[in-house]
Structure 1
Amino acid sequence: MEFNPYLVHIESEQHLLQEMRQIGSTETGNHIMVKKGQTVVIRVDNVGLKAANLLKQEMLAVGGDAAVHRDVAALSIERSSMLLMGTKRQFELLLPKLKLQPFGLKRLAVEMEEVLVQAGERSAHKRKGSLVCGSFELPLGERTLIMGILNITPDSFSDGGRYMNLEAAVEHAHRLTEDGADILDVGGESTRPGHQPVDEEEELRRVIPVVERLAKEVKLPISIDTYKSKVAKEAVQAGAHIVNDIWGFKIDPDMARVCAELDVPVIVMHNRAEPFETDVMNGLIREMRESVALGLAAGVKKERMILDPGIGFGKTYEDNLLVLRHLADFCGLGFPVLLGTSRKSVIGHCLGLPVEERMEGTAATVALGIANGADIVRVHDVKQIKRVALMTDALVR
Structure 2
Amino acid sequence: MEIGVKYIDNIEQARHEIQAVGSDPGGWQRMAPKAVHRVLKITGASPTQANIIKQEMLARGGEAAVARGVVNHSVEKTDVLLMATLGQYKGFIKKLRLQPFGLATLAARLEEILHILEGNKVRKMDCRGKVLEFGQRTLIMGILNSTPDSFSDGGRYLEVEAALSHALTMEEEGADIIDLGGVSTRPGFSEISEDEEKRRIIPVLEKILPRVAVPISVDTWRASVAREVLEVGAHMINDQWALRGDPALAGVAAQYQVPIMLMHNGTSTDYHDLMLDIVSFLGRGIEMAEAAGIRRENIIVDPGIGFAKTHEQNLETLRRLKELTVLGCPILLGTSRKSVIAKTLNLPVDQRVEGTGATVALGIACGADIVRVHDVKEMVRVVRMSDAIVRGCVFAG
What TM-score, normalized to structure 2? 0.96
Structure 1 distance, partners of 2:272, 2:84, is: 26
Query: 2:305 aligned with 1:307, yes or no?
Result: no
Query: 2:243 aligned with 1:249, yes or no?
Result: yes
Give the Å deviation of 1:185: 0.4
- SS for the counterpart of 2:327 is coil
How far does the alpha carbon of each residue in 1:166-186 deviate from its partner, in whole angstroms, 9 at most, with x for none?
Answer: 111111111101110000000
Q: Which of the numbers 102, 115, 118 marks the counterpart of 1:117?
A: 115
Q: Which of the numbers 43, 46, 57 marks the counterpart of 1:45?
A: 43
Structure 2 distance, partners of 1:13, 1:197, is: 49
- SS for the counterpart of 1:16 is helix
Please tell me whether the aligned partners of residues 16 and 34 of structure 1 are also in contact (alpha carbons under 8 angstroms). yes
- SS for the counterpart of 2:184 is coil
Please tell me whether the aligned partners of residues 142 and 179 of structure 2 are also in contact (alpha carbons under 8 angstroms). yes
Q: Which of the numbers 210, 217, 221 marks the counterpart of 1:227?
A: 221
Structure 1 distance, partners of 2:25, 2:78, is: 41
Query: 2:195 aligned with 1:194, yes or no?
Result: no
Match of 2:138 in 1: 144
Q: Which of the numbers 317, 325, 349 marks the counterpart of 1:323?
A: 317
**Aligned partner letter, 1:178:** E
Give the Å deviation of 1:139: 1.1
Structure 2 distance, partners of 1:153, 1:8, is: 49
Q: Where has structure 1 moved over 6 Å in runs of 4 or more? A: none
Structure 1 distance, partners of 2:380, 2:245, is: 33
Please tell me whether the aligned partners of residues 9 and 118 of structure 2 are also in contact (alpha carbons under 8 angstroms). no
Structure 1 distance, partners of 2:158, 2:349, is: 19
Structure 1 distance, partners of 2:268, 2:24, is: 54
Match of 2:333 in 1: 339
Identity of aligned residues (%): 48
Please tell me whether the aligned partners of residues 141 and 176 of structure 2 are also in contact (alpha carbons under 8 angstroms). yes
Structure 2 distance, partners of 1:79, 1:293, is: 24
Match of 2:381 in 1: 387
Please tell me whether the aligned partners of residues 218 and 229 of structure 2 are also in contact (alpha carbons under 8 angstroms). yes
Match of 2:394 in 1: none
Structure 1 distance, partners of 2:289, 2:191, is: 24
Structure 1 distance, partners of 2:58, 2:192, is: 57
CA RMSD of aligned residues (A): 1.1
- SS for the counterpart of 1:392 is helix
How far does the alpha carbon of each residue in 1:218-241 deviate from its partner, in whole angstroms, 9 at most, with x for none?
Answer: 111100000111111111111210
Q: Which of the numbers 352, 355, 362 marks the counterpart of 2:346?
A: 352
- SS for the counterpart of 1:71 is helix
- Residues 260-299 of structure 1 mapped to structure 2, 5 A cutoff: 260-299=254-293
How far does the alpha carbon of each residue in 1:177-206 deviate from its partner, in whole angstroms, 9 at most, with x for none?
Answer: 111000000000001111111110001000
Match of 1:15 in 2: 13
Structure 1 distance, partners of 2:268, 2:330, is: 26
What TM-score, normalized to structure 1? 0.96
Structure 2 distance, partners of 1:196, 1:327, is: 30
- SS for the counterpart of 1:343 is coil
Please tell me whether the aligned partners of residues 48 and 103 of structure 1 are also in contact (alpha carbons under 8 angstroms). no
Structure 2 distance, partners of 1:299, 1:327, is: 28
**Aligned partner letter, 1:117:** H
Give the Å deviation of 1:85: 0.6
- SS for the counterpart of 2:116 is helix
Structure 1 distance, partners of 2:16, 2:243, is: 43
Give the Å deviation of 1:299: 1.3
Match of 2:395 in 1: none
Q: How many residue pairs get matched?
A: 391
Give the Å deviation of 1:302: 1.0
Match of 2:371 in 1: 377
Structure 1 distance, partners of 2:13, 2:98, is: 34
Structure 1 distance, partners of 2:216, 2:363, is: 23
**Aligned partner letter, 1:20:** I
**Aligned partner letter, 1:385:** M
Give the Å deviation of 1:101: 0.8
Where in structure 1 are there 5+ consecutive unaligned residues? none
Structure 2 distance, partners of 1:10, 1:75, is: 38
Match of 1:166 in 2: 160
Match of 1:4 in 2: 2
